[in-house]
Amino acid sequence: MKSRPSFPAKFNTSPPQKLVKPSSPLSWVAGGTAKQHTVASSAASGLGLDSATVRSTMVRRLAEGGIEDELVLNAMLAVERHKFLDTALANQAYEDTSLPIGFGQTISKPNVVARMIELLRHGKNLRITGKLGRVLEIGTGCGYQAALLSHVSQEVYSIERIKGLYERARENIRPMRLGNLHLLFGDGLQGYPSGAPYAGIIAAAGGENIPTEWIEQLADGGRLVAPMSVTKGSQSLVVIDKTSAGIHKTVLEPVNFVPLLSGLSE
Ligand code: SAH
């Protein structure tokens, strides 16, 4: 069993502060005096004081960088990214950097993860203040994004093709008691028809195109967010909206994700 990183002692040791949202919607600050914002149990969950503080700094930066969705910001505050990483990397957990998670795979930068989940929640029939319905994630990796999704959705299915990572994600997630998160070992290229239709589908690995199975498994009014190769050697974030009128595809900013591969790796 992987040892849990205890958070390094070098961080500032002031007590955890609740995020409050003052006058400007983008200026999230720690410890202000404006109306208290509901924070999903960061202080109550028994995590180290230090990690809560650095996490609130990370969330403030995300908000300054343009992430507006309060559910996403609160999820980023609540989920302890350092618990998904090896001990040696825990002190980099709240920097805006992608990090190795073993098996040649990486956990994405916090701002990319937050951006993708925010995009996912802006599907045409979704109220931005409410939780998403059922969501499918392709590429569980260490389970970090799956844990975030479980905070902003009613139910999450997350599928991983590398057995060792699937097992690691299960270990990481188990103590978090996220009853609405289902981890699956399988090839996500086929999606996961048993859970369909999905309000949202999100992929953490990029292929040459978007598998038709994913689009088929998307609900009417649902949204898919995934990296995809648009030209040779360059990937972009793609958003697909499915409505009764058809499929609408939007190509957004360049990104750099690991490849979407077929088959299982035992
Ligand atoms: N969301 C993850 C990111 C992991 S990196 C996290 O928070 O850690 C992307 C993952 O996609 C890798 O673990 C890789 O093994 C997985 N992947 C690639 N192709 C896949 C496929 N066809 N089915 C399921 N998972 C896949």
Nearest atom in ligand 1 to the alpha carbon of residue 263 is 22
Residue nearest to atom 16 of ligand 1 (CA): 139
Please tell me the residue having the least CA distance from ligand 1 atom 23.
188
If you measure from the C-alpha of residue 198 to the centroid of ligand 1, how many angstroms do you get, rounded to a whole number? 19
CB 170 within 8 A of CB 176: no
pLDDT in tens, 66-96: 999 999 999 999 999 999 999 999 999 999 9
Q: How far is the CA of 8 from the centre of ligand 1 (A)?
A: 28
pLDDT at 46: 40
Ligand 1 centre to CA of 205 (Å) is 6
Per-residue model confidence as pLDDT tens digits over 182-213: 999 999 999 999 999 999 999 999 999 999 99
Atom of ligand 1 nearest to the CA of 145: 7
- Residue partners of 257: CB distance under 8 A and separation at least 6: 108, 204, 205, 206, 227, 235
Report the 10 Å Cβ neighbour count for 180. Answer: 15
The pLDDT value recorded for residue 232 is: 85
Mean pLDDT score across all residues of the chain: 85
Q: 95 Cβ partners below 8 Å, 6+ apart? A: none
Give the residues surrounding ligand 1 with Cβ less than 6 Å away. 101, 105-108, 138-139, 141-142, 144-145, 159-162, 165, 187-189, 204-205, 258, 260-262
- Active-site residues, by number, are 108
Task: Give residue 160 CA to ligand 1 midpoint distance, Å.
Answer: 6
Residue in 150, 208, 261, 264 to alter for ligand 1 test, most ligand atoms within 8 A of Cβ: 261
Which residue's alpha carbon is nearest to atom 21 within ligand 1? 188
pLDDT score for 105: 97
Instruction: Provide the 10 A C-beta neighbour count for residue 171.
Output: 13
Q: Is the dihedral of CA 153, 61, 227, 264 positive or negative?
A: negative
Q: Is the pLDDT of residue 5 over 70?
A: no
Q: What is the pLDDT of residue 50?
A: 82
Predicted local confidence at residue 128, as pLDDT: 56
Kindly indicate the confidence band of residue 263, based on its pLDDT and cuts at 50, 70 and 90: very high
**Distance, CA 139 to ligand 1 centroid (Å)?**
3
Q: Taking 60 as the threshold, does the pLDDT of residue 127 lie above it?
A: no
Per-residue pLDDT, 56: 95
203 close to 139: Cβ distance less than 8 angstroms: yes
**pLDDT tens sequence across 228-259:** 999 888 999 999 999 999 999 999 999 999 99
pTM of the model: 0.85
Q: Whose CA is nearest to atom 14 of ligand 1?
A: 139
CA–CA distance, 202 with 124 (Å, rounded to integer): 16
